[in-house]
Amino acid sequence: MSRSYRTTRRRFLKQSAVAALASTLPARSLFAADEQAPAPAVKDRAPLHSSTFFALPLGSVRPAGWLRRQLEIQASGLSGHLDETWADVGPNSGWLGGTGESWERGPYFLDGLVPLAYLLDDARLKAKAQKYIDWILTHPAPNGMIGPASNDDWWPRIVALKALTQYQEFTGDPRVVPLMDRYFRHQLGELPKRPLRDWGKFRWQDEALSVIWLYNRTGSPYLLDLARLLHQQGYNWIGEISDFPYKQKITADYIKLNEGGGLKDLALATHGVNNGQAIKTGAIWSLVSGSDTDRKATGQMIAELDRYHGLPNGMFSCDEHLSGRDPSQGSELCTVVEYMFSLERALAITGDAAFGDRLERLAFNALPGTLTDDMWAHQYNQEPNQVECSLHHKPWVSDGPESNLFGLEPNFGCCTANFHQGWPKFAASLFLLSGDPNSDQHDGIVAAAYAPCEVRTSIRGTAIHIVEETSYPFRGTIKLTINPASAVAFPLHLRIPAWAAGTVTAINGKPEPEPQPGSFARLDRTWKSGDRVEITFPMQPRTSRWFNDSIAMERGPLVFSYGIGESWVKLRDRGMTADWQVYPTTSWNYAVKLKPDNPTADIKVSESEIGDTPFARKTAPVQLSVKARKLPVWRAEDGAADALPQSPVTSDAAEEDITLIPYASAKLRITAFPLLKA
């Protein structure tokens, strides 16, 4: 290992030990006693059609416990030092006035750096973000255009706007709204002459979010005209969903990639990240259209992607284009974090509890599963059945041989710039506000996803402080302490996952009626300081069926994998980090033995202490044990597992007990298994 990498690893382990000690100390509020409560939630302004729930202003939710440690590890890793070791977002960035990279990478980095810095209240990271923010705010063109003058592409500005809206919510900086207003007025005049193209055309819905954000604060009618123009020029994702055409693995020949088809509509419509961002399109556009069909389009798009390209980790395959259901296919890290953001926004707009289920599946499996424990390296593509991470050409549709290496910028640097938004935006979205958009008389609080955190908001002028204590997703108990400044009546909505039949809820120790899985349980009462709500989710193992009738095992929102032995081999040093190949040191080709009439009966569960790095392999806090036999006919070629044989299968190999660990803990893994014939 290079000296710089040894140093950062040593620093990481020391900080992790401190974090572990801190987790045993008496809890204290993450908010200062004299800190001003965040501003009230901004609701949808007429004539927009109302969201079901409303996002709390950024800063209202702050991570605690293991989730805060994840953000601290991220800040100590690439996210906190990327500008020091990667020139694309370094001092010469075009988004700092330099002559370096001037397209999407600066805004991508800022889009995750801003929430990370402010959720941790980290002065060092705030200062890094402020350099970008100040340059953008102080260097608009006379016509209102923002960003580097070296390109006029609308797409990177869409990302910069997302970062500006977050920064304004955290800080209240009065410069943001006027700058956005001038830019949008300029764009409304320019789009008829210079319409959206390629990436901007397929990602228009992300700008629509920023346009709606500004409209809800200013009420300027032209902004709705701009939203309609973006919809008119943008790709028709909603129309595509009504008759989903991409039911097969998309090949390079199909999209004519080698004939210059990379930015043609066919290639962009089947591009993984575009689809991840597009999932929220129907929900966002329904705010303008009022169409129930539009609002339902998000769920329909997820269903179609699952049906033809779904994978056990909650993702759809995309390496780089839609790739079918074989779990040896990969998913791009950019798609993971963009899919999460789409779900966060779609859940607020539609109130569909299923989006919270999928959000947790991604956050607790696919996101940490593609990052090293210290977050100094990441993959471009991850595979649910990932038996080797090396310089191989299979099985990628249109990516290169570095696709699943762990490193600084394997395959392509977009994920290096973009992955930072995953954990911070998830943490900020744990709680929402419910209520009538035209009144505060029916406001309530929504637990949309679960992880340790604190919340500060207000209901009808009464300050509310909520503390969530939990080891979820590794354990099934969640405790909420409700602390209003004075007694106040409001509904508390608790998301009950679809898998959680038999959930028990109680208020101050008194049981409530059993809630319906796949819905929001409503607890409506006058709350007093110190009231406690306890949720106990059933955490029995479950099984699910996948490609060629293979089987995956789950518990709560966690997916479990067989952890293949790992040998990490450094490929090259990369400044403060390095690029790594990972080779298997144990066999992996197992078929599992489960009873047809009761497949979970023989799955044994063991729990251990949750370590200072919850998703680390060595300290996996939950393990499953199942019986299995090796399947010699199932092999690997060029570093990729062959397609799963059709289940059920037979094997004469000796029966073994194998241990499964959380998906994210196993960087080499088998997640979808052939099933042995009874």
Beta strands in 402-461 (DSSP E): 431-434, 444-447, 453-459
Among 47-61, 306-320, 425-439, 516-530, the minimum mean pLDDT is found in 425-439
Listed in order, the ranges of the chain carrying CATH 2.60.40 are 439-470+477-536
Mean pLDDT score, 45-62: 95
Phi, psi (degrees; rounded to nearest 5) at 316: -110, 155
How far is CA 537 from each of CA 268, 474, 494, 521, 531, rounded to the nearest angstrom?
Answer: 41, 11, 12, 13, 20
Helix, strand or coil for residue 491?
Answer: strand
Mean pLDDT score, 132-138: 98
Of residues 9 and 191, more confidently modeled: 191
Mean pLDDT score, 325-333: 98
* CATH of span 439-470+477-536: 2.60.40
User: Do 670 and 588 touch, CB atoms closer than 8 A?
Assistant: yes
Mean pLDDT score, 575-589: 98
Share of the chain above pLDDT 70, in %: 94
Mean pLDDT score, 576-600: 96
**646-673 pLDDT tens trace:** 999 999 999 999 999 999 999 999 999 9
pLDDT at residue 260, rounded to an integer: 87
Share of the chain above pLDDT 90, in %: 90
Sign of CA dihedral 502, 505, 511, 514: negative
User: Do 294 and 301 touch, CB atoms closer than 8 A?
Assistant: no
pLDDT at residue 296, rounded to an integer: 97
- Does residue 442 carry a pLDDT above 70? no
pLDDT band at 531 (very low <50, low <70, confident <90, very high): very high
CA distance 311 to 316: 5
Mean pLDDT score, 70-82: 98
> 502 is written with which tokens?
């038999």
CA distance 213 to 157: 15
pLDDT at residue 28, rounded to an integer: 56
pLDDT at residue 227, rounded to an integer: 98
Task: Label the pairing between strands 488-496 and 444-447.
Answer: parallel
**450-509 pLDDT tens trace:** 999 999 999 989 999 999 999 999 999 999 999 999 999 999 999 999 999 999 999 999
pLDDT at residue 155, rounded to an integer: 98
- Does residue 26 carry a pLDDT above 80? no
Mean pLDDT score, 245-271: 94
pLDDT at residue 436, rounded to an integer: 72
- Does residue 593 carry a pLDDT above 60? yes
- Does residue 277 carry a pLDDT above 90? yes
Of 60, 5, 81, nearest in space to 420 by CA = 81
The pTM assigned to this predicted structure is 0.95
User: Do 350 and 295 touch, CB atoms closer than 8 A?
Assistant: yes
pLDDT at residue 11, rounded to an integer: 44
User: Do 50 and 434 touch, CB atoms closer than 8 A?
Assistant: no
